[in-house]
Amino acid sequence: MGAAYAHPEALIETDWLAAHLSDSNLRILDGTFTLPGVSPAGAEMYARQHIPGAIFFDIDGIRDETDPLPHMLPDAPSFARIMGGLGVGNHHKVVIYDAFGLSTAPRVWWTLRVFGHRDVAVLNGGLAKWLAEQRPVTTEVPQFPAATFDAKLDRSRVRDKAQMLANLRSRREQVIDARNAGRFAGTEPEPRAGLRGGHIPGSLSLPSTELIDKATRTVLPADALAGRFRAAGADPAKATAATCGSGVTAAALAFGAYLLGWPEPAVYDGSWSEWGLPGDTPVATGPA
pLDDT tops 90 at residue 36? no
Question: What percent of the chain shows pLDDT beyond 90?
Answer: 97
Report the C-alpha gap between 273 and 280 in whole angstroms.
14
Return the pLDDT at 219.
98
Instruction: Examine residue 3 and state whether it is found in any structural domain, yes or no.
Output: no
pLDDT-derived band at 14, boundaries 50, 70, 90:
very high
**Given the residues 17, 96, 244, 259, the one annotated as active site:** 244
**CA–CA separation, 180 and 169 (whole Å):** 26
* Domain shared by 26 and 117, yes or no: yes
pLDDT for 48: 98
Q: What is the pLDDT of residue 209?
A: 97
Q: Is the pLDDT of residue 2 over 80?
A: no
* Residue-wise pLDDT tens digits, 77-88: 999 999 999 999
Do 103 and 20 share a domain, yes or no? Answer: yes
Residue 195 belongs to domain spanning:
156-275
Q: Do 141 and 90 have their domain in common?
A: yes
| 2 inside domain | no
The strand pair at 158-159 and 26-30 is best described as unpaired
Strands of the chain (E only): list them.
11-12, 26-30, 54-56, 93-97, 120-123, 158-159, 174-177, 204-205, 240-243, 266-268
Indicate the burial class of 140 (C-beta count within 10 angstroms; 0-12, 13-18, 19 or more): exposed
Q: Which pLDDT does position 119 carry in this prediction? A: 98
pLDDT in tens, 194-219: 999 999 999 999 999 999 999 999 99
Number of domains observed in the structure of the chain: 2
The verdict on 112 and 21 lying in the same domain is yes
The pLDDT of 165-193, averaged and rounded, is: 97
59 plus 105 within the same structural domain? yes
Average pLDDT estimate for 94-111? 97
- Is residue 206 in a domain? yes
pLDDT of residue 231: 98
- Domain with 172 in it: what CATH number? 3.40.250.10
Averaged confidence pLDDT in the chain: 97
Mean pLDDT of 14-37: 96
| 244 is a catalytic site residue | yes
CA distance 5 to 226: 10
Compute the half-sphere exposure of residue 152: CA atoms within 13 Å on the CB side of its CA. Answer: 3
Q: Report percent pLDDT > 70 for the chain.
A: 100
Domain co-membership, 50 together with 133? yes
Would you say residue 55 lies in a domain?
yes
Examine the pLDDT at 1 and tell me if it is beyond 70.
no
| Residue 9 DSSP class | G
Beta bridge partners of 54: 28
Residue range 216-253, pLDDT digits in tens: 999 999 999 999 999 999 999 999 999 999 999 999 99
